[in-house]
């Protein structure tokens, strides 16, 4: 999930927020509700916000869902811009964003 930090608030891009699906997987929907429950703001079609006070809970939750084996790393890992510093509390479940992934995705979507 691509993220950024501004004024000690972590923002998850709305395109990367896990979708809730009425008839979807129980694990994915549980993940959606778990993330939403600790977010400070989770507006529809906008970035979700997590204040610094919940970062340890966010990291633990992401770790638990990643270790379950039901969700992929792209869905449970926080991806920062290459020049961004990753805060210590988020490091266990964070990495830097790989621009090549976006280029590959764009190439496979092109006709």
Per-residue pLDDT of 3-53, as tens digits, reads 999 999 999 999 999 888 888 889 999 999 999 999 999 999 999 999 999
3-state secondary structure of 82: coil
pTM of the model as a whole? 0.85
Residue 1, both tokens = 């999930």
Angle at 29 between CA 14 and CA 80, to 5 degrees: 35
For 43: left if phi > 0, alpha if psi spans -120 to 50, otherwise beta; the answer is beta
Predicted local confidence at residue 23, as pLDDT: 87
Helices (H) and strands (E) in the chain, counts: 4, 5
Q: What is the pLDDT at residue 52?
A: 98
Residue ranges making up the domain that contains 16: 3-109
54-109 pLDDT, tens per residue? 999 999 999 999 999 999 888 999 999 999 999 999 999 999 987 676 655 555 55
pLDDT at 87: 97
Report how many domains make up the chain: 1
């Amino acid at each position: 999930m691509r993220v950024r930090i501004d004024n000690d608030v972590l923002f998850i891009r709305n395109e990367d927020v896990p979708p809730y699906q009425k008839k979807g997987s129980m694990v994915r929907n549980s993940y959606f509700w778990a993330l939403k429950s600790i977010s400070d703001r989770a507006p529809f079609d906008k970035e979700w916000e997590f204040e610094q006070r919940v970062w340890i809970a966010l990291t633990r939750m992401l770790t638990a869902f990643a270790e379950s084996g039901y969700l992929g790393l792209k869905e449970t890992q926080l991806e920062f811009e290459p020049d961004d510093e990753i805060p210590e509390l988020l490091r266990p479940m964070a990495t830097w964003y790989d621009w090549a992934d976006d280029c590959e995705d764009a190439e496979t979507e092109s006709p």
